[in-house]
Amino acid sequence: MSLELGARITDYLARTGMEELNVEIHIDVGRQGETKDLIREVVGMVTGSGFQAKIKPDSFAASSVADRYTK
């Protein structure tokens, strides 16, 4: 869903003359905890799709949303 939304936002930015803005995908994985083994694969998917990938602690958007719905 994140990649699909990122593509839609990128298309919108291109149509409205703001293609110089870069879309970041914030991923709820980090170097500590259960998700550390997934970092390489997930970041590869995101960057391979043409987006910048942010992981914890820099993925503040994903961390905020994930914490809200899992705690």
pLDDT digits (tens, 9 = 90+) for 20-70: 999 999 999 989 888 899 999 999 999 999 999 999 989 988 877 776 766
pLDDT digits (tens, 9 = 90+) for 8-24: 999 999 999 999 999 99
DSSP category for residue 4: H
Is 2 inside a domain boundary? no
pLDDT at 60: 85
Q: Could you tell me the CA-to-CA distances from 61 to 15, 17, 19 in Å, in that order?
A: 25, 25, 22
Is 16 inside a domain boundary? no
Q: Strand 52-54 vs strand 24-26: parallel, antiparallel, or unpaired?
A: parallel
Tally of CA atoms within 13 A in the half-sphere of 34 that contains its CB? 0
Is 46 inside a domain boundary? yes
**What residue numbers bound the domain in which 34 lies?**
24-71
Is 3 inside a domain boundary? no
Is 56 inside a domain boundary? yes
Count structural domains, the chain.
1
pLDDT at 70: 66
